[in-house]
Structure formats: C-alpha cells, structure tokens
Structure 1
Amino acid sequence: MLAGADVTLIEASDRLGGAVAGADVGGVRLDTGAESVAARGGAALALLRALDLPVVPPAASGAWLQTTRGAFPLPAAGVLGIPGSPLADDVRRVIGGRASLRAWLDRVLPELSIGRVENLGELVRRRMGQAVLDELVTPVVANVYAVDPMEAEVDSLAPGLNGALTRTGSLSAAVLALRAAAPAGSAVQGIEGGMHLLVPALERDLARFGVPVRMRTPAETLRRIESGWEVALAGETLTADRVVLAVAGGTARALLAPLLPRAADDLADWPDAHRTTVVSLVVDAPLLDAAPRGSGVLVARNVPGVRAGALTHSSAKWPWLAAMLPPSRHAVRLSYRGAAADDVGEAQALADAAQLLGVAAADLSVVGSTATQWRQESQRALIGMRRRIERVRESAAELPGLDVTGAWVAGTGLASVIADAERAGRAA
C-alpha cells in the first residue's frame, strides 16, 4: 500500500496471525504460540517499533537444563549449547569433569580435522564428545529448533561457525569468536503484554490502509495468465499483477508444483512439519516466587518421568506478566514435540511442571490451563534443505510477479519469517 499498490489479503483460516496467538487462561491473556522474537537482523524489532508496540527484554534470570543427572543452570558461554569454555564450572556441573576434559581436547588434538562441515551433531560429537552432544547441544537444538542435531546443517543454524572454526582451529574457540562478534544486549525481545498483541496491531494497519481481508478463503489453484496471475477460490477467481505466496509449506508446495516443473524433484518428498503441543498453566505456588529454575528448563532425552521437551516459567521471564498476576500466582508453559493436544492432559503437564521446577505437584494449585497444537516448519535446518529451498526459489523467480515466503523457506522463528516476508513484500 505504501508503494501505491492495491492489496488483497486472502486467509484460509478463521484468524490471522499463524503461530502468533493468545488465549485467556486463569484470568490473564497468555501467548500460546510465539512468545518472543530473536533480536538478530533487526527487521522484526523494527516492525514492532513501527507498530508502536512496547518492546521489552526478558528478565536476566537464565535458563536451566534437566538431564538424567539432574537439573543445572544452562552454561553461559555457548552457541546452540556448544560450550565456548568446556572446563568452566557451569559446564562441568552438567556433563562431569571427565566429559569436560574430553571437550577441552578439541583445543589440542591435531587429528581432529578443521574445515567446512555440514552435520552439526557429527561436528560436535567428533570434536567434543558424545556427552556434549547429548546433554548440552541436543536439548537446545531439538527443543528450540525442532530438529535433531544429527540431521541439522551447521550453516543453517549457526552461520559463520564453519568459518570461525577454520580461522581459530577449534570448535570452542569458534564459539567464543561468534559470541564476541554478536551485538550486545538480549538475544530475544518481547512485547509488553504479549507477542499476541502483534496480530491486532497488524490488523489495525491493514484497516488503516484499506486492505480487504478475505477470511476462511483458501486458495485452491494458482495459475499464470497473460495479464498476471489468477487465483482460484471456492466459487470465484481473483486476478492480480503479483502474488506473494505466504502459506504453510504443504499448501505452498501443492500450489507451486504445477507451476515449477523444473523444481519437481526438489518439491517432492518434502519433510513434514513437526507437530508440537503447547500447554499453558496458571498456578498458585508460593514456592515458585524465587524462580527456582530461572526463566525455564530445556529437557535432555530420556529423563525419567518427563514427557515435555521444554518448560518456560513465563511470569519469571517477563516482568510485565508477573505484575499482572496476584502474589504467588505464576504462569508456565510446556512444549511437547510430536504430541497432539488430545494426548497431553492437564495432569501430565502439571506432573512435568512440578518435576522440572523442583517442587511437588501438590505445591502447584491449578487456576487455569489450555493446550494448543502447532505445526512447526523446521525443514530449512535439515542437511541439504537450504540449497533445495534456494533451487525452488530460483525456479519461482523465473515467473514474473510471484514471490514465495513463509517459515518453510525462511527458517524457524519470527525473526526469520518477518525478515523474509519484508523481502517478499519489497520484491512485489
């Protein structure tokens, strides 16, 4: 609209916002999807500020790790859980002295080759050992990026790590170099009141610019015509000079397949998005006033009795949320990768929350709860997928007036999605 174009937004569902959503739980509105945004790149934060949304950092309370050996603060000097100082006390507490020494040998063993490596898990295991992979890297990568490190591409999740490894000669030194080069300040930011406030702010902007929004209107086919593009909807068609395809991966690939015969092999057999259920709890629990597990807990594999992969102590992480709640009332959220909402009940979430927070279930009195199921597009992080996506985009770029965006091509997280969507909007 700012460029003088007439824009129509077509939305298949009955709400805007995708993975940005909120729900009323126990008398307070909580984020049930994305609850923060990475500060990297600046595009996401610039959008929030342009919409006059109050951007705030989380509390400096730190996260924890739950392993089979116990619960420990997450080591500070790391990237994707890879320690920059393997002999530091906070690393040794998690993996033990012997495993820390094995990780430190990354600095001195010349037979460990240096160079560009694709497989993140193999890189970590080969240079620092299995314990670092299992108890530090896997809980971070699997729960934050929804991908197994043994299937993850280094350059997708940690751009610059391969180059730093070549320059410095060790993985731990490469991690420290990346951290030193990172801008100062919190790695993530939020909106005071919750990330869900982004959706009504964008809706107000659409109304301000007079953009028609068609809800519950899925696109059935997309066809190139002489004058531009034709979009078939249920019972009607729309024509347009340009189309920005910003839909879920499966829908996008179905619409693109007839248009991109040269990319047929790349579009076929695409890895599925991951199903994740988020359970939000509001509890009365005086024992949580001291935030015994900081801002939350990432869970290693095979922890007995715990199904959740991660817990966020939301009211400890976000001071604005704590201020909205009565004394000793807390908001927590748990993530269950691979689980349907019907498979995770309040009792399971309560039991997991108690164990991860180091209290008894009887010490948590539930005021309200809700479960929300999401599909998390993490394919870009898989080995080989980045180049595959580039080939699809290169093929789409040969069709004038078409641009493709969305998490399935942009990558995990709002920062990646927003930056890529702005690029697509400018191209259109």
Structure 2
Amino acid sequence: MIEPRHVLVIGGGVAGLVAALDCARVGIRVTVVEKAERAGGSVATETVAGIRVDTGAESFATRQGTVRKLVDGLGLSDSVVRPAAGGAWVRLPSGVSAPLPKAGLLGIPSNPLADDVRRVIGWRGALRAYLDRIRPVLTIGLEHNLGELVSKRMGAAVLNSLVAPVTRGVYSADPYDLDVTRAAPGLNKALTTAGSLSGAVAMLRSAAPAGSNVEGLRGGMYTLVEAMLDELRRREATIVLGSGVAQLRRLTDEERSESADGATASWRAVLDDDQIVDADYVIVATPEEAALTLLAPLSDDLSNEEPLETPTVELATLVLDAPELDAKPRGTGVLVAEATPGQRASGPRVTAKALTHSTAKWQWLADEATSGHPHRHVVRLSYGRLGSANPSLDLGDDALRALAVSDAAEILGVPLEDSQVLGFTRTRWVGTLPGAAIGQRERAERLRTSVLAIGELDVTGGWLSGTGLASVVPDALAASARIRSAVAASYLADGVVIDPHTRTGMNDTSPDANPS
C-alpha cells in the first residue's frame, strides 16, 4: 500500500478551506495551517448581547452559482435565505435620504427620468443624465474607467449621488478606480448595441435572471466555515490553528529520503512554533503580504514585488433596544454619498460609508434578536475605503461606539442614545483590492503565472481573485484543480491508483488504472 500524496494548504480563510476540501474529497491527504486562532478569514462571527452576528461577509453573490453549489454540497441547502425586499437607501450630503433606484446597475439608472431617480438627484440632475440618450451614440464599447464613463455620459449628480455610494459600499473604492469590464461585465458590449449608457444598463437588466442577486445562510455565513471544517475533519485532514508558516522551501534530495512523509515530499514548511510539515504540493492561500513573503525567495520574478496599498475597513456592530427602528425607516440599509471637493455638506456630518440594518435585512436574525426582546435591533456600520484615510482606526472602543451611535441616528433618521446600546463590537479587516480595480486583473494574472512557474505549488486568495465569495470560491477551486491534476499525473507516472474512500494507494500498471 502506498500513502496518498500530501498537500499543504497555507491559510485557513475561505479560499484555503475550499481548496483543501476539494483536494480531500478525492482522497488527497491535506494539512491546513492558519496563523489566526480561528479559520474563515473575512467570514467571521461574534456573539454580541447574546446574539450571534456576522462580523465579516454576511452574504454571497449568486452569479455563476459556484458558491451555492458549495453550500448545497455541504448540506446547507435548507439554510439558504434571501434578504428582505425592502431594499437599500442612499443618504446625500444635504442630509436627505431616499431609496436607491430599482432599475439600475452599480447605481447607473436605466431611466434617468424615473421618479425614484429624480427623488435622489432632482430634475436638474435627471435632465443632465437624460442627455446620455440624445448625445452621439457610443458605436464601439471600449470604455475602461467607470467614473469617467458615468461622468461623461450622465454627469456629476449620477456619479456622486448614485454610483459612488454603491462602489464605495460594494468595493470600498471610488468609481474612478474601477475598470468597466470588471465592475460591470457585459456593459461594454451592451454600449455598442444600445449606443447609450442608460440604454446599455436597461439591456443588461432585462437580460438578468429574476430574483435576488445575493443570498445568505440562516445562522450567519460562518455556518459555511463550520461545515467545511467539519467535513475536513471527517476526512481526516489536519488543521493547525494559531501558528503561521515562517519559512517555505524545497527539500533537498537528502531531506526527501529522510522525510517522515515519504520520499516523494518536495516541500518543507517551518511553522512559527518550529513544527515542521513536509508535503508533496503546496497551495498558498494567505493574504497578499504574507503570500509574497513566502514566495519571493522561490522566484526571481517575485523577489521585487511589493504588496499593493489596500483599504483598511472597520465594522462597528451595535445591538440596540430601539422601538424607533421597528418600522425599518431606511429599508435594509443605507449607502452614504460624500460631499465632493468644494461642495458644502448642509446636513449633519456622517463618517460611516454605509450602514446595514441587519435585523431588517435578514428575517432569521430578526427572529433571534426579538425573541423575548421585541424592540432589539442589530445595525452594522462600515468605515474606510481605498485612497482615503480611515478616521475610525485612531479611535478607542468607547469613542468608536459613540461615533457609531451618532452616525446610526443620523443615517436612520431617528434619535438614538448610548443608553440604548445593549452590545457593541468592532472588527478590523485589512482588505484586498477589488478584482474590478483598474490594472488589478492583469497584475494578478502576471503574479499567478510567476507562481505556477515554480512548480508543485499554487496560489489563491482574494488578493488575486477579487473580493467576495463569488470571486474567491471559483479561484480556489481552480487552484485545487491544478494541484489535483498534478497529483493524478504523478500517480500515473508511478503506476499508482488511489482509493478516495480509504485514502490509500497501490501499485497498478494495468490499462484500467484510474487515478483520482
């Protein structure tokens, strides 16, 4: 009998867990090493005032169905939920708030003269935006910069009051930082057909499938992480938490012969606690800075690469006893439009870039929060974006809590007092550049090519794929597929077939050998 190949996954965020599980399911021996004390990365949870709440990703985009397939494969189909239909609002620098227009794409309206559009940008802004329909047609859709496209075709009101709040909320980035082809796939092609930006948006909207474009999980998104960990353990994967990889290097021929993992081992990882893990293949699934630190000594092409500046985002979660919020005064949440340079904000100052009224958005959470407490609500405020200093980072817990209460009151349009706060927590995330950022996709492809050239090693993570589970999960599956292919090729070369149920292999040179 021959031991199965061993894959070391460095990083226990969602990307690492997905890649590890995909390998373990075909009988490959897997070890996951995560520096933090808990797995999951940006999918996280905490218990605040007795309520378990998401303190990271709270939902997943339904595009391509990749995340839903993962969810279903973990037996979580019955836990899938959709957000309430109330929809989000936008708060303007004047202090006025209104529902976001329904028929749009990244805030770009398909009908600039619609009532819900005029309610946000007024008649003057709407008429300026309508010029898009009568200006010279866009005969070839080759637009790159989202901010420039919107400003040129529809004007400042649409850009600043509709599009910028959406991109800052979704991507933590300004429209001018985003590539049209990445942020709005298909828009350039539709521009060529429709000849106008609003017409192109209408085309894409009409072709989009019906239903919500996001889903969540009853009990919170961390149930996804827990389900992956449970299955990995059932499949006898080794999961090491609280110790990162200090060094990664290839084994010498002498070390290979002495390796506890067998003569096939190619890699040695030295952990922070001096534990040694030898493996045949490695998948690096850490954040960018940690990944480049490990990989730079292995590749001349990567030796001079520096991690890019990324936004540091902070979430402030409040559990409130607030009858004023029972009526869901601002739908499921609010995006905040910032005053532009030279523009005077006539309304009270708001520091947060967005607020989610979580108990208005997710019925399962509302049911839990109000069990025995009829006026209990969960709200989550977000601070920080790319290219702008995050003022929350310099605040102590008490100061951030006070700021969050003040911002929530202004955004939601109701009086709120500190005495109504039943629980508070803050969560800081060092984010990644969105895959839609200008030049990011090209850079990611270049770096990945350099990593793959090292051999017997792969890389994945949000810093390459872009933010969001709908981007991270397929990228991780692609990385694990490449490693699985390499494992299969090595078994074929050795005339070995492995049984995924027993995780053991045997020599088999017959023509019917079927390696996994």
TM-score by length of 1: 0.95
- State how far apart, in whole Å, the 2-side matches of 1:274 and 1:252 are: 18
1:363 CA displacement: 9.6
- State how far apart, in whole Å, the 2-side matches of 1:294 and 1:308 are: 17
Name the counterpart of 2:407.
Answer: 352
| 1:291–1:421 Cα change, 3 Å | same
Paired amino acid for 2:352: A
- State how far apart, in whole Å, the 1-side matches of 2:358 and 2:275 are: 45
1:348-375 deviation digits (Å, cap 9, x = unpaired): 1111111111101249811111111111
Name the counterpart of 1:333.
Answer: 380
> Which segment is superposed worse, 125-134 or 362-371?
362-371
Q: Find 1:366's aligned residue among 421, 427, 431.
A: 421
1:415 equivalenced with 2:453 (yes/no): no
1:288-317 deviation digits (Å, cap 9, x = unpaired): 111110000000113542111100000010
1:264 CA displacement: 5.1
1:5 equivalenced with 2:28 (yes/no): yes
Asked if the contact 1:281–1:369 (Cα under 8 Å) also holds between the matched residues in 2, the reply is yes
| 1:362–1:12 Cα change, 3 Å | closer
Q: Which runs of 5+ in 1 are unaligned?
A: none
- State how far apart, in whole Å, the 1-side matches of 2:312 and 2:196 are: 36
1:193-213 deviation digits (Å, cap 9, x = unpaired): 111222221221111111111
> Which segment is superposed worse, 126-135 or 332-341?
332-341
Asked if the contact 1:116–1:162 (Cα under 8 Å) also holds between the matched residues in 2, the reply is yes
1:221 CA displacement: 2.5
- State how far apart, in whole Å, the 1-side matches of 2:138 and 2:42 are: 41
Asked if the contact 1:114–1:170 (Cα under 8 Å) also holds between the matched residues in 2, the reply is no
Q: Find 1:290's aligned residue among 327, 344, 349.
A: 327
- State how far apart, in whole Å, the 2-side matches of 1:260 and 1:301 are: 43
SS in structure 1 opposite 2:102? coil
Name the counterpart of 1:182.
Answer: 208
- State how far apart, in whole Å, the 1-side matches of 2:321 and 2:46 are: 19
Q: Find 2:68's aligned residue among 45, 48, 68.
A: 45
SS in structure 2 opposite 1:214? strand
SS in structure 2 opposite 1:361? coil
- State how far apart, in whole Å, the 1-side matches of 2:183 and 2:329 are: 30
Asked if the contact 1:112–1:127 (Cα under 8 Å) also holds between the matched residues in 2, the reply is no
Asked if the contact 1:341–1:372 (Cα under 8 Å) also holds between the matched residues in 2, the reply is no
Asked if the contact 1:55–1:191 (Cα under 8 Å) also holds between the matched residues in 2, the reply is yes
Alignment root-mean-square deviation, CA: 1.8
- State how far apart, in whole Å, the 2-side matches of 1:292 and 1:188 are: 22
1:399 CA displacement: 2.6
1:37 CA displacement: 0.7
1:111 CA displacement: 7.1
Q: Find 1:228's aligned residue among 266, 273, 283.
A: 266
1:60 equivalenced with 2:60 (yes/no): no
- State how far apart, in whole Å, the 2-side matches of 1:364 and 1:111 are: 57
SS in structure 1 opposite 2:249? strand
Name the counterpart of 1:320.
Answer: 364
Paired amino acid for 2:480: G
Q: Find 2:287's aligned residue among 224, 245, 248.
A: 248
Name the counterpart of 2:147.
Answer: 121
Asked if the contact 1:112–1:126 (Cα under 8 Å) also holds between the matched residues in 2, the reply is no
Q: Describe how 1:202-213 pairs up with structure 2 within 5 A.
A: 202-213=228-239
SS in structure 1 opposite 2:383? strand
Asked if the contact 1:66–1:297 (Cα under 8 Å) also holds between the matched residues in 2, the reply is yes
Paired amino acid for 1:229: W
Q: Describe how 1:377-396 pairs up with structure 2 within 5 A.
A: 377-396=432-451
> Which segment is superposed worse, 64-73 or 338-347?
338-347
- State how far apart, in whole Å, the 2-side matches of 1:222 and 1:154 are: 38
Paired amino acid for 1:55: V
Query: Based on CA coordinates, which of the two structures has the bigger radius of gyration?
Result: 2
| 1:114–1:68 Cα change, 3 Å | farther
- State how far apart, in whole Å, the 1-side matches of 2:206 and 2:298 are: 45
> Which segment is superposed worse, 364-373 or 224-233?
224-233
> Which segment is superposed worse, 175-184 or 283-292?
175-184
Q: Which runs of 5+ in 2 are unaligned?
A: 1-23, 254-264, 340-344, 385-389, 484-516
SS in structure 1 opposite 2:215? strand
Count matched residues. Answer: 426
1:380 CA displacement: 2.8
- State how far apart, in whole Å, the 2-side matches of 1:125 and 1:43 are: 34
1:308 equivalenced with 2:347 (yes/no): no
Q: Describe how 1:188-199 pairs up with structure 2 within 5 A.
A: 188-199=214-225
- State how far apart, in whole Å, the 2-side matches of 1:308 and 1:405 are: 31
- State how far apart, in whole Å, the 1-side matches of 2:336 and 2:451 are: 40
| 1:5–1:217 Cα change, 3 Å | same
- State how far apart, in whole Å, the 1-side matches of 2:434 and 2:107 are: 20
Q: Describe how 1:132-211 pairs up with structure 2 within 5 A.
A: 132-211=158-237
| 1:14–1:341 Cα change, 3 Å | farther
Asked if the contact 2:295–2:302 (Cα under 8 Å) also holds between the matched residues in 1, the reply is no
1:100 equivalenced with 2:126 (yes/no): yes
- State how far apart, in whole Å, the 2-side matches of 1:101 and 1:322 are: 41
1:165-222 deviation digits (Å, cap 9, x = unpaired): 1221111111112222222211100001111222221221111111111112211232
TM-score by length of 2: 0.79
1:229 CA displacement: 2.5
Asked if the contact 1:58–1:190 (Cα under 8 Å) also holds between the matched residues in 2, the reply is yes
Asked if the contact 1:221–1:231 (Cα under 8 Å) also holds between the matched residues in 2, the reply is yes
Name the counterpart of 1:260.
Answer: 299
- State how far apart, in whole Å, the 2-side matches of 1:199 and 1:341 are: 31
> Which segment is superposed worse, 34-43 or 336-345?
336-345
Asked if the contact 1:22–1:33 (Cα under 8 Å) also holds between the matched residues in 2, the reply is yes
1:115-170 deviation digits (Å, cap 9, x = unpaired): 31211111111111111111111101012101111111112211111111122111
Name the counterpart of 1:280.
Answer: 317
Paired amino acid for 1:63: A
Q: Work out the percentage of aligned pairs sharing the same amino acid.
A: 49
